[in-house]
Structure 1
Amino acid sequence: MRHDPERDAAAYLAGELGALRRLWFERHMLDCRHCWAEATTARQGRMLAESLRVVAPPSTRERIRGVAELDTEPQRRRWPYLLLAGAVAVLIAVALAMVPRLTETQPAPLVAAAELQSADALPLGQEPGPPLARIGAYVWRGTAQEELGEIPATVYSYADPDGRRVLVIASARPFPRAVAAQDLEPAPSWLAEVDGASMLCADKNGTSWLAVATDEATALSVGRALELT
């Protein structure tokens, strides 16, 4: 008997076959690898789409529903493939939603701190003195008073023999949490990348501290030297 595996599988899964035709097709699939493959592929695609339907954005769900409800004969014959394409679209939408939103704007005080770390020069004085005179290879070079996004802060500048700079910033007001920050112990300490600078933030004895370095390892070393982590 001549038949169309794509059309018959689509009609079977859509519930469009009568009782006798459905029974025939179910028995037929046991001996026809083409119909079995068409029905299996389409069923898997539908299950995948249904499992992801809830988390897909409303606009994506509407586009997929519109494709699935096309009732012209050429589109009906391609229904299993359209459904699989819809499932792939849902997967892409979910994957994009799970990506950390690193493109969000970082808080202004943190952006200002990153700019200070990369600045050519800072207006440094000798008061107040630093929390530590030396942090590893980095030696205190002076102190500046700055406004970081409306947060008044004391900036202690350190440099190593090669001229690499590390900033230790203290404020009585807490610094905002960076976008995509990684939690550290003790909470609510965190580590993050902001505009090319590595930052470690922690509160201690009523003061909010921010260590700003060129790399994560150095920022962590500063945090340990200050006993922030």
Structure 2
Amino acid sequence: MLMKKFLYGPIIKAMDEREARIAERMRQADAAIERAEREERTHRALTDELKKARETMMHEAAEEAEQHRRRLMEQARADVEAAERNWRAAIEREKTAFLRQLRELAGRETVEIARKTLRELADSELEERVIRRFIERIGTIEDAHWAQLAQYGADSEQGISIASAFALRPELSEELALLVRQKAGSDIPITFERDEALLTGIELRSAGVKIAWSMDDHIDSLQQSLAEIVEREAVS
């Protein structure tokens, strides 16, 4: 018993202490392993999250870049289409303006050719025929025109002037004077004058008011009609 107490006791105690230390180290090792595994799982989870976040960000960035590219393409296409429309509209405006100018020029040239031709053909005989036509149609002139001519003629010292490109035969002058007095009043002075600027025909003038029947009037009317046609075509 004494041997067991004094010999084996310390040995057993030392062994127990060693086993306890070994057990503690094993426990610490297990704890360290568990902690390491836990940290590894945490790290792996964090890595997975970062990877997923990176993939998500890359996908979103790629999608945003694609959307931006599509917007740029659509804007570029719209800009090109708008530029083409503007270009075509400008071409159409230029074409319309050119055609209008061409028609106006053609109209003016036509009128000038007609005026020149009539001027070359004009003589006293042609003018007398035109004046005869005026005498035939004198009744169609509105009374308001005659009244205005008479009023200005009465207020003017010159009265009413009858202008023609060529000198009129006396009998034709008398016939015209008689007709004018019948329409405008017998007390109004009437004078005759030549106006070479007239293109075959006659003008009754009084202080800026006139009643005209001449080729010039017809050509001016033709020119006005041509201008109105060109204007209507330009608007349509």
Q: Tell me which structure has the larger Cα radius of gyration.
A: 2
Shared fold per TM-score greater than 0.5: no
What TM-score does the superposition give when structure 2 sets the normalisation length? 0.29
Question: Greater helix share, 1 or 2?
Answer: 2
